[in-house]
Protein backbone atom coordinates (compact mmCIF):
# COMPACT_ATOMS: atom_id res chain seq x y z
CA UNK A 1 0.00 0.00 0.00
CA UNK A 2 1.10 3.54 -0.76
CA UNK A 3 0.58 6.55 1.50
CA UNK A 4 -1.09 9.51 -0.19
CA UNK A 5 0.97 11.94 1.90
CA UNK A 6 4.13 10.50 0.35
CA UNK A 7 2.77 10.64 -3.21
CA UNK A 8 1.76 14.31 -3.09
CA UNK A 9 4.64 16.61 -4.15
CA UNK A 10 6.57 13.73 -5.79
CA UNK A 11 8.64 14.71 -8.81
CA UNK A 12 7.52 13.44 -12.24
CA UNK A 13 10.02 12.28 -14.87
CA UNK A 14 9.25 11.64 -18.56
CA UNK A 15 11.18 8.64 -19.90
CA UNK A 16 11.05 9.63 -23.60
CA UNK A 17 12.34 13.14 -22.94
CA UNK A 18 14.66 12.08 -20.12
CA UNK A 19 13.79 15.06 -17.95
CA UNK A 20 11.80 16.23 -14.96
CA UNK A 21 8.44 17.54 -16.18
CA UNK A 22 6.53 18.44 -13.02
CA UNK A 23 5.28 17.27 -9.64
CA UNK A 24 2.09 15.96 -8.01
CA UNK A 25 -0.32 18.53 -6.56
CA UNK A 26 -3.53 16.72 -5.61
CA UNK A 27 -5.38 13.42 -6.21
CA UNK A 28 -8.56 13.08 -8.28
CA UNK A 29 -10.98 10.51 -6.84
CA UNK A 30 -14.25 9.09 -8.15
CA UNK A 31 -15.79 7.50 -5.09
CA UNK A 32 -12.77 5.55 -3.75
CA UNK A 33 -11.12 5.04 -7.14
CA UNK A 34 -8.00 7.08 -7.87
CA UNK A 35 -8.50 8.45 -11.40
CA UNK A 36 -5.20 10.28 -11.38
CA UNK A 37 -3.59 13.49 -10.16
CA UNK A 38 -3.61 17.19 -10.78
CA UNK A 39 0.04 17.97 -11.49
CA UNK A 40 2.10 21.07 -12.09
CA UNK A 41 3.75 21.20 -15.51
CA UNK A 42 7.16 22.75 -14.79
CA UNK A 43 7.71 23.80 -18.40
CA UNK A 44 4.65 26.02 -18.70
CA UNK A 45 3.87 26.33 -14.96
CA UNK A 46 0.27 25.22 -15.50
CA UNK A 47 -1.93 22.62 -13.87
CA UNK A 48 -2.39 19.41 -15.89
CA UNK A 49 -4.11 16.06 -15.33
CA UNK A 50 -2.13 12.81 -15.16
CA UNK A 51 -4.22 9.65 -15.39
CA UNK A 52 -3.29 6.72 -13.14
CA UNK A 53 -3.10 4.46 -16.22
CA UNK A 54 -0.35 6.65 -17.70
CA UNK A 55 1.97 6.18 -14.71
CA UNK A 56 4.68 3.70 -15.73
CA UNK A 57 6.14 3.29 -12.25
CA UNK A 58 6.19 4.94 -8.85
CA UNK A 59 9.22 4.80 -6.58
CA UNK A 60 10.02 6.32 -3.22
CA UNK A 61 11.75 9.22 -4.96
CA UNK A 62 9.64 9.92 -8.05
CA UNK A 63 6.90 9.01 -10.54
CA UNK A 64 7.76 8.00 -14.10
CA UNK A 65 5.62 8.47 -17.22
CA UNK A 66 6.37 7.77 -20.88
CA UNK A 67 6.09 11.29 -22.22
CA UNK A 68 5.29 14.84 -21.18
CA UNK A 69 2.29 14.58 -23.51
CA UNK A 70 0.70 12.10 -21.08
CA UNK A 71 -0.12 15.15 -18.94
CA UNK A 72 -3.43 16.48 -20.26
CA UNK A 73 -5.20 19.81 -19.90
CA UNK A 74 -7.47 20.03 -16.86
CA UNK A 75 -11.15 19.91 -17.83
CA UNK A 76 -13.94 19.85 -15.23
CA UNK A 77 -12.07 17.65 -12.76
CA UNK A 78 -12.67 17.73 -9.02
CA UNK A 79 -9.37 17.44 -7.17
CA UNK A 80 -10.14 16.58 -3.55
CA UNK A 81 -7.80 15.10 -0.97
CA UNK A 82 -9.10 13.47 2.23
CA UNK A 83 -5.96 14.45 4.13
CA UNK A 84 -6.57 16.89 6.96
CA UNK A 85 -10.37 16.61 6.78
CA UNK A 86 -12.73 15.57 9.57
CA UNK A 87 -14.89 12.46 9.16
CA UNK A 88 -18.58 12.66 10.10
CA UNK A 89 -21.58 10.40 9.72
CA UNK A 90 -25.14 11.58 9.00
CA UNK A 91 -25.82 11.88 12.73
CA UNK A 92 -22.90 14.24 13.29
CA UNK A 93 -20.61 11.71 14.96
CA UNK A 94 -17.02 12.90 14.61
CA UNK A 95 -14.56 10.10 13.77
CA UNK A 96 -11.52 12.34 13.90
CA UNK A 97 -9.27 14.08 11.39
CA UNK A 98 -7.71 12.13 8.52
CA UNK A 99 -3.95 11.82 9.01
CA UNK A 100 -3.22 9.31 6.25
CA UNK A 101 -4.87 7.72 3.21
CA UNK A 102 -3.66 4.27 2.12
CA UNK A 103 -3.97 3.38 -1.58
CA UNK A 104 -3.69 -0.05 -3.19
CA UNK A 105 -4.15 -0.75 -6.93
CA UNK A 106 -5.54 2.78 -7.40
CA UNK A 107 -8.26 2.28 -4.77
CA UNK A 108 -8.47 3.73 -1.28
CA UNK A 109 -7.86 0.83 1.10
CA UNK A 110 -8.44 2.75 4.31
CA UNK A 111 -8.25 6.13 6.00
CA UNK A 112 -6.31 6.64 9.22
CA UNK A 113 -7.67 9.34 11.50
CA UNK A 114 -6.30 10.47 14.84
CA UNK A 115 -8.97 8.25 16.43
CA UNK A 116 -9.48 5.17 14.27
CA UNK A 117 -9.10 3.40 10.93
CA UNK A 118 -11.94 3.62 8.41
CA UNK A 119 -12.13 1.02 5.64
CA UNK A 120 -13.06 2.00 2.08
CA UNK A 121 -16.49 0.33 2.27
CA UNK A 122 -17.42 2.82 5.00
CA UNK A 123 -16.52 5.91 2.96
CA UNK A 124 -19.65 7.46 1.45
CA UNK A 125 -18.23 10.77 0.21
CA UNK A 126 -14.90 12.55 0.06
CA UNK A 127 -16.00 16.15 -0.14
CA UNK A 128 -14.39 19.56 -0.30
CA UNK A 129 -14.77 20.19 3.43
CA UNK A 130 -15.14 16.77 5.06
CA UNK A 131 -15.41 13.00 4.58
CA UNK A 132 -18.80 11.35 5.14
CA UNK A 133 -18.92 7.97 6.86
CA UNK A 134 -21.34 5.37 5.44
CA UNK A 135 -23.36 2.98 7.60
CA UNK A 136 -23.31 -0.54 6.15
CA UNK A 137 -24.05 -2.36 9.39
CA UNK A 138 -26.45 -1.88 12.27
CA UNK A 139 -23.52 -1.33 14.56
CA UNK A 140 -21.22 0.94 12.58
CA UNK A 141 -18.57 0.98 15.30
CA UNK A 142 -17.77 -2.69 14.69
CA UNK A 143 -16.46 -1.80 11.25
CA UNK A 144 -13.93 0.63 12.69
CA UNK A 145 -10.73 -0.61 14.24
CA UNK A 146 -9.56 0.68 17.61
CA UNK A 147 -12.56 2.94 18.11
CA UNK A 148 -12.40 4.73 21.46
CA UNK A 149 -15.78 5.67 22.91
CA UNK A 150 -14.27 8.00 25.50
CA UNK A 151 -12.23 10.29 23.24
CA UNK A 152 -13.61 13.76 23.68
CA UNK A 153 -13.40 14.57 19.96
CA UNK A 154 -16.44 12.36 19.34
CA UNK A 155 -19.66 14.24 19.78
CA UNK A 156 -23.32 13.85 18.86
CA UNK A 157 -25.20 16.68 17.21
CA UNK A 158 -28.78 17.14 16.02
CA UNK A 159 -28.93 16.61 12.27
CA UNK A 160 -29.88 20.24 11.60
CA UNK A 161 -26.62 21.38 13.19
CA UNK A 162 -24.25 19.09 11.28
CA UNK A 163 -23.40 21.42 8.42
CA UNK A 164 -22.94 24.40 10.73
CA UNK A 165 -20.62 22.37 12.95
CA UNK A 166 -18.55 21.22 9.98
CA UNK A 167 -18.27 24.79 8.73
CA UNK A 168 -17.22 26.10 12.15
CA UNK A 169 -14.53 23.42 12.48
CA UNK A 170 -13.14 24.11 9.01
CA UNK A 171 -12.75 27.79 9.76
CA UNK A 172 -10.25 26.94 12.51
CA UNK A 173 -8.25 24.22 10.75
CA UNK A 174 -4.70 24.64 9.53
CA UNK A 175 -5.68 23.28 6.12
CA UNK A 176 -8.24 26.01 5.52
CA UNK A 177 -8.50 26.97 1.85
CA UNK A 178 -8.29 30.66 2.75
CA UNK A 179 -5.21 31.98 1.01
CA UNK A 180 -2.59 33.96 2.91
CA UNK A 181 -1.76 37.47 1.88
CA UNK A 182 0.98 37.49 -0.74
CA UNK A 183 4.32 38.92 0.30
CA UNK A 184 5.49 41.77 -1.88
CA UNK A 185 9.24 41.26 -2.01
CA UNK A 186 12.08 40.19 -4.26
CA UNK A 187 11.80 36.39 -4.46
CA UNK A 188 15.39 36.04 -5.66
CA UNK A 189 16.56 37.12 -2.20
CA UNK A 190 15.22 33.83 -0.83
CA UNK A 191 17.67 31.67 -2.79
CA UNK A 192 20.35 30.22 -0.52
CA UNK A 193 18.45 30.84 2.72
CA UNK A 194 17.69 28.01 5.16
CA UNK A 195 14.13 26.93 6.01
CA UNK A 196 13.42 27.10 9.77
CA UNK A 197 10.08 25.25 9.68
CA UNK A 198 8.34 22.77 7.34
CA UNK A 199 6.24 24.61 4.73
CA UNK A 200 3.07 22.73 3.70
CA UNK A 201 0.84 23.14 0.66
CA UNK A 202 -2.96 23.16 0.32
CA UNK A 203 -3.18 19.36 0.83
CA UNK A 204 -0.52 19.09 3.55
CA UNK A 205 2.11 18.16 0.97
CA UNK A 206 5.64 19.30 1.83
CA UNK A 207 6.82 22.29 -0.17
CA UNK A 208 10.05 22.70 1.79
CA UNK A 209 11.50 20.88 4.78
CA UNK A 210 13.13 22.40 7.83
CA UNK A 211 16.87 23.07 7.32
CA UNK A 212 16.48 22.74 3.53
CA UNK A 213 18.23 25.38 1.43
CA UNK A 214 15.85 27.40 -0.76
CA UNK A 215 16.35 27.05 -4.51
CA UNK A 216 14.34 28.03 -7.60
CA UNK A 217 12.32 24.79 -7.53
CA UNK A 218 11.15 25.46 -3.96
CA UNK A 219 10.22 29.02 -4.90
CA UNK A 220 8.14 27.77 -7.86
CA UNK A 221 6.30 25.29 -5.61
CA UNK A 222 5.65 27.91 -2.94
CA UNK A 223 4.40 30.34 -5.57
CA UNK A 224 2.01 27.71 -6.96
CA UNK A 225 0.50 27.21 -3.50
CA UNK A 226 0.59 30.93 -2.63
CA UNK A 227 3.07 30.27 0.21
CA UNK A 228 5.83 32.72 -0.75
CA UNK A 229 5.11 34.80 2.33
CA UNK A 230 5.78 31.75 4.52
CA UNK A 231 9.16 31.26 2.85
CA UNK A 232 10.09 34.82 3.83
CA UNK A 233 8.82 34.33 7.37
CA UNK A 234 10.38 30.90 8.01
CA UNK A 235 13.82 31.36 6.47
CA UNK A 236 17.09 32.87 7.59
- The correct answer on CATH 2.30.30.240 for the domain covering 2-73 is yes
- Asked if residues 19 and 4 have their Cβ atoms less than 8 Å apart, the reply is no
Average pLDDT taken over every residue of the chain? 77
- Asked if residues 136 and 122 have their Cβ atoms less than 8 Å apart, the reply is yes
Q: What is the pLDDT of residue 87?
A: 94
For 103-132, how does the pLDDT look when each residue is reduced to its tens digit (9 = 90+)?
999 999 999 999 999 999 999 988 888 999
With residue 223 as reference, give the H or E element that holds it.
Answer: helix 216-224
Q: What is the pLDDT of residue 128?
A: 83
Residue 152 pLDDT greater than 60, yes or no: no
| Residue-by-residue DSSP string for 56-107 | EEE-SSEEEES-GGGEEEP-S------TT-EEE-TT--EEEEEEEEEEETTE
**Do 2-73 and 86-172 agree at the fold level?**
yes
- Asked if residues 25 and 221 have their Cβ atoms less than 8 Å apart, the reply is no
Residue 58 pLDDT greater than 70, yes or no: yes
Average pLDDT of span 173-194: 56
Q: What is the pLDDT of residue 191?
A: 85
Which CATH entry fits the domain spanning 86-172: 2.30.30, 3.40.50, 3.30.70, 3.20.20? 2.30.30
Distance CA(29)–CA(47), nearest Å, equals 17
User: What is the pLDDT confidence band of residue 207, given thresholds at 50, 70 and 90?
Assistant: confident
Domain range summary for the chain, segments of one domain joined by +: 2-73, 86-172, 187-233
Give the three-class secondary structure for 117. Answer: strand
Q: What is the pLDDT of residue 90?
A: 87
Amino acid sequence: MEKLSEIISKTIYAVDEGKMVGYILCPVFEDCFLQGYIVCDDEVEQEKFLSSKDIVSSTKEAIFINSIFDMQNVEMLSAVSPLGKFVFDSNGTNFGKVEECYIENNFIKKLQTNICEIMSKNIATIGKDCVIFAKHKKNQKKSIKNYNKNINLIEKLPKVEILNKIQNKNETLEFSSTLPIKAIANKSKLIGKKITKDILGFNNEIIAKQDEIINEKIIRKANKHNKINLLFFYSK
